[in-house]
Each structure stands twice: as structure tokens, then as C-alpha cells.
Structure 1
Amino acid sequence: MGLGELILVAVIAVVAAGIMFWALIRARLNATRQKPLTIADSAGPIFLFQDKVLIDATPDALAMLPSYTSRMTEYEATLHVLAPHFPDLRNRIAALEDGHDQIAYQRGEGLQLALEQRKGILRIAVKGTVHAERRDMIDHDVRIAELDMLRDIIQHTPQLIWREDKAGKLIWANHAYLAFSDMMTTSDKTAQATWPDKSIFPETNDSVLKRGNAVRRVSITQPDKKAEHWFDVTSVAQPDGFLHFASDANAVVRADQERRNFVQTLSKTFAQLSTGLAIFDKRRQLAMFNPALLDMTNLPFEFLSSLPSIDTVLDKLRESRMLPEPKDYVSWRDRFTAVEAAAKDGTYCENWNLPAGQTYRVTGRPHPDGAFAFLFEDISVEVSQTRRFRSDIETAQSVLDSLPEAIAVFSSAGTLVMSNSAYANLWSTCTSISIEQREIGTEIDAWRTRCTPTGIWSELRNFVHTLGTRQSWSKTAILYDGRRLRCQANPLSGGMTMVQFSIAGPAQPVIQKLTSGDPAIRMAKR
């Protein structure tokens, strides 16, 4: 190996040694930088949190928390103890990223709070000597701050709070109680308020002694204004007296009164309805009914007042023959299962033809929260009238069909209302007029096609459409088979017109020609 080669090997060895030395130094720096936060070999109060969960603490730190950890987490207890002495602690922690921060003790006694956060781990350390006396002083300051906060809350709460001794004498009250007591006992707003001798809530202590700790609703009337105030009073018995809390219940009482008034109004309205009403709740039990239901179904009041289920009500109706009689009980039960579902959907409406002859229209209507109602309407008179009208119409049609003359009745608008079988046979038209609307013009076209040309059809059309007072109209037309057709129109009530066609026998063309007024003969006579 030559000298040059030795120099090259030496240079390479030196470079490699330098690289290894630099890597070792960098590894140690990274290890130091990434070393996790701990409290090892540390003195004084030190807390270590990860995501607000206490993962480690020194004995001095744990000694500061035992009186608070039963009511809150270790993180909140730590802030509760330290925040009164280290201003803006919460905000400083919230703004702290990976790094350090220090907060000075507000009394300036050499204590500092060191904050350090790294990879989600928060380290809170109290720097400086913390003697037992100073720790007691910190705890005392925390208790004083907490006491001031509680006093502030009690004095500004809208709830009335007061204490009484066993004899019922008022020994303490908050600002809300004193203000309400002044309003109830003093009409002059400028008068100076005095400490009340006794509680303005009567017999509160007696209720506690009789029934124990309980909530009562109490009303107090203001003497001068006759105004009534309602409170929910919670009373707690104590060894040396009683502690009371009163919450304003005026809004609740007024709402309850309005609800009762509304229910009474509904009840009065339902009581005056002629329609039977039965409302079932979501449990399928009867929740409300009106007197009309009793009259229509003949169900006993005692039975309905027991709030039976819908199945029981239907069974009772069937026993009293107030339901349409089914062919078999199984199909009847299945049917009313469908009735209940249809009532909840608001699609049930059916006429019940009862064995006694009545006809009820039963309608199902859905209600909120799964409830549903049945409405019972007695339509027996309506059905009877409809049947009578139908019978009258059928009788009138039978009478018309028995007449030999062809008869057609038109409305004031010229629509064919009624015709008989003789009319259909004469003009070869359909006997049913309920399928389509047939007008006077259409009918005249049919008449014209079976008669010789004449001008009476226009006159008849005008007569049908004429409004007001009319006189009977009569003209004669000639059918194509030579028979004379007498057309007569008579006015009816409501602007309708009855047109009557009668066959007068074969026409006499020669006689008719000689006896008719011939224009040529009249001109010759002149």
C-alpha cells in the first residue's frame, strides 16, 4: 500500500468518525427533547394531566385536593384551588400550546406557577417553598372565595330562601324573600323596610312536622291589591329549626287554570252536541264521551265512566244490539280491528243499519299522540226522507210511464229532466236520462228527423227558454207516416216545462189544402 492510499484511508476514517459522532450527539439531543414530562425527583406540589385526567402528582399536590375531589374531577379541583391565587389560570392553560408559561402568585410571596405542555400532557408545578402554614392559607383563601360566591348566588337568586327556629321565628332570609315580604306588608314604596317578625308563609313548619320534608303549593294574597301569588315551597327540617325554599308557581297555576277552563268549555260544548262522541287514548281505552253517546247507544253511565277499552265497548254495543249484526263473530272481530286502524288513519266512515231500524253514520278521526275518536250521527230521518223521495220519484215515473201520451220535462236551462216510456217509443230514444245530459236542442233534432218540415220547433225552443209568466202553448206537426202530432207545452213551477205529444190520426192532405189559407187564393181575391 502506497502513501497516497494510506492518506485516503485515513481521510475516510476521520470522516466516518465525524459522522458517527454527529449522529450520536443528535440522537442524544432528540432523546432529551422527546423525554416525556414526569414528576420524578421533584419536590413541591406538581400535577401531571393528560386530556384533563390526572395521571400523576406529588404528595404535596395531592394534599391540596382531598376536600374537593368528592364533588368534582381532579382537574377541576386543581383549578378551583389555584385559580383564586394565580389570575387568569384557565385562559393561560387554554392558550398554552407545546411550550412553557409562568404565572406569579398574586400576593407576591415568591411563589410561581409553572405551566408546561408537551404532546397533550400538561404539567402544573408550584415553584417556591410551600409550608404547611402557607398551604393552609391557600386553602383558607379558597374557602373564603367559595363562601363569597355562594353568598352572591343566594342573594341574587329569584328563589325565596329563609330559615326559622323551632318556634317559627324568622332568623335569616335572602334578598328575594325580604323584597317579597316588603311588597306584601308595605303599601308605601318609600317606606323603609324592616325585618319581618315572622314568616309570611303560614303553617309551613307544621306541615314539615306532620309530613316530613315535602313540597307544598301555597297561595298568598296581597291585602291591598287582592292579588294572589302562588309558590312551590320545599321545607327541610334541621336540628335547630327549618330551612325553606319557595319557587314562583304563578305561571304554572295560571296555565293549569286555563287548561281546566278550556277542558270545561270543551265539556260544555260536547254536552250540547247531538252527535255522540267517544275518544280513545293511545292505550285503546275510553278517555272522554258526551251525553249524546249515552242516549244513542243506551250504554250505562257507570260502564262508560269506568273508561273501558274499545274491545269492551264494542262487545257491549253488540250485546245491546247497537251494532250491525254480523254473520259470524270471528269476521266481526276482524272487521273492527280494521275499523280501529282506519279510524286512526281518518279514513273510516260507514253507515250502521241497526236491527231496531235506526241508521247511524259512524266516522273515525285520528287525534294527536295516537288517540282516535268515533263520531256517531243519527241519520235515520235523513235516510227515511231519501228513501221516501226515491219512492216518490219511482211512483211519479211509474205514473208517467202508464200514460199513453209521450211526455218530456225540461228544466229552465233546457235540460231534459224526466220522460216516460211513450216518449222513448215515439222518438226511439233511450229511456234512461241519468247517464248523460240531454238538451232541448238535441231532442228537437230527433223530433225534426221524424216530422215534415215545420217552424214550430223554434217556437217550442223559445217557449222552454222563456223566463217569467207563460201561457200554455200548442201546435200540430205531421209525422212522415202521415199522422198528425199534437205538441203541447205547459209551464211548471221552478221555470220547468212539460212537453206533451199526442197522435191525432192520419192527416187529410186535400182537405187541409182546401181549408188552409192559400196565399195564391188570397192574392186572387184582392
Structure 2
Amino acid sequence: QRLSAAKKLPDQLNWKSWKETALSVYRALDTQSDLWHLPNGQTLRVFATAHPQGGATWVFENLTEQVDLETRYNTLVKVQGETIDHLSEGVAVFGADGRIRLSNPAFRALWGITETEAKPGTHIRALGEACAPSYDRPDGWKAFAELITSFDDERRSGQGTLELFSGLVLDYAVIPLPNAQTMLTFVNMTDSVRAERALTEKNEALRKADELKNDFVQHVSYELPSAA
């Protein structure tokens, strides 16, 4: 009761039941372990070993810092995952073994593949086969696989543009990450490229029209003196 009043025992809805369970270690044949989350925010791993002659040895391991770090890490991973999932940019991260660690919906939509085809653990070559209907040329997934699984001491980055069979135009970047991981990003540039091409075609049409006009004027200018 004194330990409970001093906030050195976990808060319990059923104090009597918890106390009976805790004291049962004196009758146990094996070492018992439990996690205690104390009111002051500490987390303890508790080991209790009963002695044949009576009594028990209690060992308390303070896990507060470890649990706090794990909680913050898990929160960070969750936030990062949610952030990546909401990007319009396609993102995929691969390990040193060439297996995908994560991808976002935009990545799968751009390449026309399912979540199952891009599930964590899938090798980049298998992923390349799944993406082959969209693009199977050597400068695509074959090149990505070589960059990501390369054993070069200096890991290389890369960037470029691919025009998929569907007409989508993607700017890509291969970015080395810590722990020998690599990130692939894809940005849909289709609208910009189409607008640029349309402008180029319009300018070319205007140039040709101007040439025709000049040719016509020169021809007329030549014919007029002849007629005179």
C-alpha cells in the first residue's frame, strides 16, 4: 500500500487482483517478468525469481528512455509514411539488397501497378517486370536496378526523363540514402511537356508560314517587273 501511495506501482483498476498476481511469483517455479508503467512516466521491466528456501529476488530494469525513443521513432515513421502517401510525387525506397522497403500510392498509379506488386520485400527486378507494360527499355528499370544494387564504393545518383508507352512523361531521380538505401522519385511532367511541344509546334508552324509569305512576296516582286 505504501508503494502504491508513493506512485511506485502501476495504477490498477483492480488492485486486489493485480496484487494477487504479483505475489504469485513466490509460488512460481520459473522466473516471472512483467512491464510496469508507473504514474510518473517511468517504464520498468520487472523480473521476479522465487527461492526454494522462501522469498524471491526482484530485479527492476528501467526502460523509460528506450520506450520513449521507440515511441518517438514509431511516431516519426508514421508521420513520414503519411506524408509520403499524400505526395503527388511517386516515391519508392529500396534497401541495399534491391528489395523495396516502401512506396506511395502516386508511385503505383504512375506505373500502373498494384499495392501487392510493390509490397515490401519485392525485388527491384520483379518490380521492373511488373512495370514492363508501361516501359521496358534499357534506360528504365534495368538501369535503376544497376544503380540500386551496384557494389561500387561510391554510390551513384542519377536523373533523367522517361516517356512511358501510355504517353506519360516522368522526370526521375535516383537518390542515395543512409544505411545503403536508395530512393527513386518520379514527377509527372506530361502536361508541361505537352504544352512545351504545342508551343514548339506552333512556333514552327509560324516560322514556316512566314517563310511561305516571304517566298510569295519575293515571287510577286520578281514577276511584277517581268510583266511590265
With the length of structure 2 as denominator, give the TM-score of the two structures: 0.74
Quote the residue 1:481 is aligned against.
Answer: none
- Contact 2:125–2:145 (Cα < 8 Å) also in 1: no
Aligned CA distance change for structure 1 residues 334 and 274 (closer, same or farther; 3 Å): closer
- Contact 1:230–1:249 (Cα < 8 Å) also in 2: yes
- Contact 2:31–2:49 (Cα < 8 Å) also in 1: yes
Instruction: Answer yes or no: is 1:359 the counterpart of 2:172.
Output: no
Highest Rg: 1 or 2?
1
User: Larger RCO: Structure 1 or Structure 2 (Cα < 8 Å, ≥ 6 residues apart)?
Assistant: 2
Task: Report the identity percentage.
Answer: 14
The one-letter amino acid of 1:322's match is S
The one-letter amino acid of 2:157's match is T
Quote the residue 1:499 is aligned against.
Answer: none
The one-letter amino acid of 2:208's match is S
Quote the residue 1:302 is aligned against.
Answer: 116
The one-character-per-residue Cα deviations of 1:265-312 (angstroms, maximum 9, x if unpaired) are: 111211110011111122221111112122222222223235211121
Secondary structure of the 1:304 match is coil
- Contact 2:95–2:180 (Cα < 8 Å) also in 1: yes
- Within 5 Å, give how 1:340-379 maps onto structure 2: 340=148, 341=150, 345-379=155-189
Aligned CA distance change for structure 1 residues 274 and 212 (closer, same or farther; 3 Å): farther
2:197, 2:79 → 1: CA distance?
39
Quote the residue 1:263 is aligned against.
Answer: 77
The one-letter amino acid of 1:375's match is T
- Contact 1:201–1:220 (Cα < 8 Å) also in 2: no
Q: What is the CA distance between 1:364 and its match in structure 2?
A: 0.5
The one-character-per-residue Cα deviations of 1:310-363 (angstroms, maximum 9, x if unpaired) are: 121112211xx122445xxxx988644433249x83421121221121122221
- Contact 2:168–2:188 (Cα < 8 Å) also in 1: yes
Secondary structure of the 1:287 match is strand
Q: What is the CA distance between 1:404 and its match in structure 2?
A: 2.8
Aligned CA distance change for structure 1 residues 211 and 315 (closer, same or farther; 3 Å): farther
- Contact 1:275–1:292 (Cα < 8 Å) also in 2: yes
The one-letter amino acid of 1:317's match is C
Q: Is there any run of 5+ residues in structure 1 with no aligned partner, and where?
A: 1-169, 171-177, 186-197, 222-226, 406-421, 423-501, 506-526
2:34, 2:87 → 1: CA distance?
40
1:279, 1:385 → 2: CA distance?
31
Aligned CA distance change for structure 1 residues 388 and 253 (closer, same or farther; 3 Å): same
Aligned CA distance change for structure 1 residues 258 and 306 (closer, same or farther; 3 Å): closer
The one-character-per-residue Cα deviations of 1:381-411 (angstroms, maximum 9, x if unpaired) are: 1211111111112112222222339xxxxxx
Aligned residues: 208
1:271, 1:258 → 2: CA distance?
20
- Within 5 Å, give how 1:31-430 maps onto structure 2: 183-184=6-7, 203-204=21-22, 212-213=30-31, 215-221=33-39, 227-239=40-52, 240-318=54-132, 321-326=133-138, 335-340=143-148, 341=150, 345-404=155-214
2:77, 2:43 → 1: CA distance?
22
The one-letter amino acid of 1:377's match is V
The one-letter amino acid of 1:350's match is G
Q: What is the CA distance between 1:207 and its match in structure 2?
A: 7.6
The one-character-per-residue Cα deviations of 1:454-509 (angstroms, maximum 9, x if unpaired) are: xxxxxxxxxxxxxxxxxxxxxxxxxxxxxxxxxxxxxxxxxxxxxxxx9xx9xxxx
1:305, 1:397 → 2: CA distance?
51
- Contact 1:231–1:250 (Cα < 8 Å) also in 2: yes
- Within 5 Å, give how 1:6-17 maps onto structure 2: none
